[in-house]
Amino acid sequence: MRILVTGAGGQLGHDLCRLLDAESRTERTRDTRVLAWAGLTRSDLDLSDAARVRAVIADQARPAKVQGGLVVINTAAWTDVDGAEADETGAYAVNATGPAHLAAACAEAGAALVHLSTDYVFDGTASKPYETNDPPGPVSAYGRTKLAGEEAVLALCPASYVVRTAWVYGRSGNNFVKTIARLARERDELSVVADQHGSPTWSADLAAGLLDLVTARPAPGIYHCTGGGETTWFGFARAIVAAIGEDPAKVAPTTTAEFPRPAQRPAYSVLSARSWQDAGLRPLRSWDEAFAAAVADFGPELPG
């Protein structure tokens, strides 16, 4: 098959392209081999331009006819959660309108689409991991725009997969891991919220999971894929600080009420791996095991 990654400049897109490049250099055999791939950044393909999206997907689909078909993995997104509160229209254009253009183009070209979504489509009031069929109820502009993107993709492209993930961090770009590592070296004390629960997800592991998904090609629909287990931002921060050789005790717990942000965060947004397992896919390893591997992979990108 031929794989096209949109949003290749982001941390997940970067790791997907890195993985696909490595796969293309090996003799590893899969049930459905990746015969070709391409990665497009926003400057290469702005999803808000419907005509351009249609032309690019049609162009990519032509060689894919002799390469086992085209699969598009859309990692492009507006990820500034607080910024979306101030500009929900802008966030909607990126998180909903753009994916709708992509889904329509994929349907017309006979391509499959994998679209990344988020735990923020839920309200966070649950006490056990969310299943794919649990009713969404976003409490932020970001969550609302991502849910709208899910709905558009599923409605417009029959061969579509919506993959919800959470708390993603990677080697490329800015993220919680890099921020906490930097602050831990600059300050004697950090306060991090301890009442928001989720599952940190290393983008390299998520990339590998997505490649397994498009190889296996289970029934289209919604899937959840995150690092295994759960923690809090406070617990994750302490793990980060310890990993760079600083004293984790310098991280103090605080509450969401004491650390107000423009956008409301779900208090509990752990996603169940049941859908992933039922499709015959191997769940990602535990978040702490993945983080240990990520630290080695970050190299100079993670202060130490």
Per-residue pLDDT band for 65 (boundaries 50, 70, 90) equals confident
2-175+199-228+269-285: CATH topology is Rossmann fold (3.40.50)
Identify any residues that bridge with 73 across adjacent strands, giving them in sequence order: 5, 114
**For residue 290, which amino acid is it?**
A
* Cα torsion through 143, 294, 25, 75, rounded to 10: 10
Q: What is the pLDDT of residues 130-159, one digit of tens each?
A: 999 999 999 999 999 999 999 999 999 999
- pLDDT at 185 exceeding the cut of 50: yes
Give the span between the Cα atoms of 111 and 128, in whole angstroms.
Answer: 35
Percentage of the residues of the chain whose pLDDT score is greater than 70? 95
Active site residue 268: no
Give the span between the Cα atoms of 137 and 146, in whole angstroms.
Answer: 11
* Cα torsion through 273, 282, 113, 138, rounded to 10: 20
Question: Of 159, 138, 150, 146, which Cα lies nearest the Cα of 214?
Answer: 159
- pLDDT at 30 exceeding the cut of 50: no
Q: What is the pLDDT of residues 155-175, one digit of tens each?
A: 999 999 999 999 999 998 889
Three-state DSSP class for 42?
coil
- Which pLDDT score, from 0 to 100, does residue 51 have? 97
Assigned token pair, 208: 């590998």
Q: What is the pLDDT of residues 256-300, one digit of tens each?
A: 999 999 999 999 999 999 999 999 999 999 999 999 999 988 876
Crossing angle (nearest 10°) for helices 176-186 and 233-243: 60
Q: What is the pLDDT of residues 195-215, one digit of tens each?
A: 999 999 999 999 999 999 999
Per-residue pLDDT band for 24 (boundaries 50, 70, 90) equals confident
- pLDDT at 19 exceeding the cut of 80: yes
Give the start-end residues of each E strand in 130-219. Answer: 160-165, 168-169, 190-193, 197-198, 201-202
CB atoms within 10 A of CB 6: 29
Q: Which of 92, 120, 130, 142 is catalytic?
A: 142
pTM for this structure?
A: 0.95
- Which pLDDT score, from 0 to 100, does residue 33 have? 61
Assigned token pair, 209: 């999971």
- pLDDT at 22 exceeding the cut of 50: yes
Percentage of the residues of the chain whose pLDDT score is greater than 90? 88
